[in-house]
Amino acid sequence: MLNFAGLKRRLRRDNPRWVVLLIDVCIVCGCYLFSHFAINSFRGSFELEMMFKKAPLILTVYFLCFIWYGTYKGIVRQTGIRDAVRVFKVVWTAMVILMVITAATRALFEKGTVAGDYLRMSYALLFMHAFFTMVSLVAARIFYRTLYEAFFFRKRKQVAVLIFGASRPGLMALSLLRDDVRVKYSVVSYVEDKSSRIGKRIGGLKIYCLEAIDQEFVDEHHIEQVIIAVENNDPERLQHVSEVFENLGLEIKIMPPASTLLNAGGQRQIRALKIEDLLGRETIKLDNPAVQREMKGKVILVTGAAGSIGSELARQIASQRYESLILLDQAESALYDLQQTLKAADISKVHFVVGNVRDKKFMESIFDQFKPKLVFHAAAYKHVPLMEHNPYEAILTNVVGTQTVADLAMKYKATKFVMVSTDKAVNPTNVMGATKRAAEIYVNSCNDISDTNFIITRFGNVLGSNGSVIPLFERQMEAGGPLTLTHPDITRYFMTIPEACQLVQEAGVMGKGGEIFVFDMGKSVKIMELAKRMIRLKGYRYPEDMDIQITGLRPGEKIYEELLANNENTIKTHHPKIMIANVNREDIPTRRMILDKLCTSIMRMDRQEVNPIELVRMLKKVVPEFVSKNSVYEILDNQQSFSTTE
């Protein structure tokens, strides 16, 4: 009885190279015997002794060619087209060598001599032997691979797919799908939106136009997935194509462009289409050599280094040639995680510091020890509903913490101070946004009284950051839904974490002091549409499989975000996507005085005696444009309006 368990164990092993080489030599020998018999059968004679005399030469030549090309080194069960090409080279190289030897022997030696008997071959025999050897070597490898897959992948899930992109990336996607050992993919056809390719064939598969792929076509071929494989992932094109396939209920995957993967040092792979791929605008790319020059030989401090922005900023800066990099955050576990991701950097020049920007004595010890020349201030509380209920903590971190770091930057003569702000600081409707605007005001005021250049960067929501809407929706889908949305008309501006961190560094180079840098972030995104797209991208139907529940606006939440206040406009820079906000600087000295009083008062307060209403009242004096929405603090705006009317 056949021992299948033992055979499976044998197949799973990678056979020693000498075994593969020995089998290949045996195949060469067998094909030689067959070819010799076939050729001599036509002549009516079969000289066995002469055949054995000539066999050593053939085996030696093929053996040396196997060694030279290394065909025996490949893993046989993963045989592909490259292995077949290598076998082809071996066989025809050996045949040419043998024909050259034969031609030389015929010219130099007579029949009946030792050389004439051992080295003289039939050209027809050599050609036939080469043909059968090539076919047999490739067939043996395919047979082994088929046998291996039959044993181990009989129960592979079968999935019918389409490939969008009938070009080189599409062919690569086809190869990757066929090599997948977990799922047996059946590629139905290619799809294109370029008329010049429609109706042709690539990789043996017909190319259909995008408009031809309808629900009937999908149902007829039982298609479940589509792979987008194009070299230039233009966002507008990608958005249009993905919408077509989403409406057909297909799961969409993408193969990132080679340029992206080469820059990241990765390998070509197919992954699920992410919502980041569908920003609806070109990714903003900054490649300014001045960034490297600015950071070269400098001591750099990053506060809030364990946060979403801070950690990516730290990773990008870690690749520069700085003198020393201080990464500071109060979140010990998150800072440890960052430490583990920076193992590739020169760890002796990176200092991980657990501490709080609100602790003035501690922060002074850090500035006194390291004396940083570049300060990137990303430490802040940012969650709107939480800060609405905790104004004391919001002011203490976002305002007092910024004041502490800014004052120390001036005292220890830092060259530049770059603050990370938010679009919620524009016409704020919540405590968090108001504290960030107050911090902007303080930083702006510092620029007028010191040699340190104080710069602010302001941008919208960051995709994938802690607490952002994308991870929330993903968690809700994993839990089976529904997705929760506060208002059906709510919109937001979005950018990626790398984009945000590039802006911060670029601002550090471009800034001369007093500027607020903003990005041209394209059109704002309607969150309801974003949620529906995420549902479709996961292969669900809205609302049949996954619904969206409207929960109502949270305290302090805006329906629409802004990048500029009503009385602000922009100034162009050298980069078309980066602008400088022409900020209203009226009453900056007066506001600074009120801010100083606010910070002094809150530092003297007993946490148990804090009155949130009074704190927010003081904050509104610093930021007059702060008008609360859907919040208990609306009473303060009503009182102010009433007193003004009186």
- Mind telling me the catalytic residues? 424
* Residue 446 identity: C
Q: Residue 642: which residues within 8 A CB-CB, separation 6 or more? A: none
Query: Which of 622, 610, 573, 240 is closest to 402 using CA atoms?
Result: 622
The amino acid at residue 563 is L
Pairing label, strands 548-550, 483-485? parallel
List residues bridging with 517 in a β-sheet: 457, 580
Nearest Cα residue to 421 out of 469, 373, 463, 382? 382
Asked if 189 and 173 count as a contact pair (C-beta separation under 8 A), the reply is no
- DSSP code of 526? E
What are the beta bridge partners of residue 455? Answer: 418
CA dihedral 144, 145, 151, 154 (to 10 degrees): -150
Cα 422 from chain centre: 24
In angstroms, the CA 511 to CA 514 distance is 8
The C-alpha atoms of residue 29 and residue 27 are separated, in whole angstroms, by: 5
Distance CA 538, CA 561 (A): 28
Q: Is the separation of the CB atoms in 180 and 227 below 8 Å?
A: no
- Taking alpha carbons only, the member of 290, 293, 285, 331 closest to residue 310 is 331
Q: How far apart are CA 483 and CA 475, in angstroms?
A: 9
CB 622 within 8 A of CB 438: yes
Q: Which residue has the tokens 């576990």?
A: 333
d(CA 33, CA 134): 15
Q: Residue 518: which of 422, 588, 645, 614 has the closest Cα?
A: 422
Give me 186's structure tokens: 């059946």
Residue 438, amino acid: A
Residue with tokens 């051992």: 118
How wide is the angle at C-alpha 545 spanned by C-alphas 544 and 550, nearest 5°? 75
Distance CA 169, CA 327 (A): 40
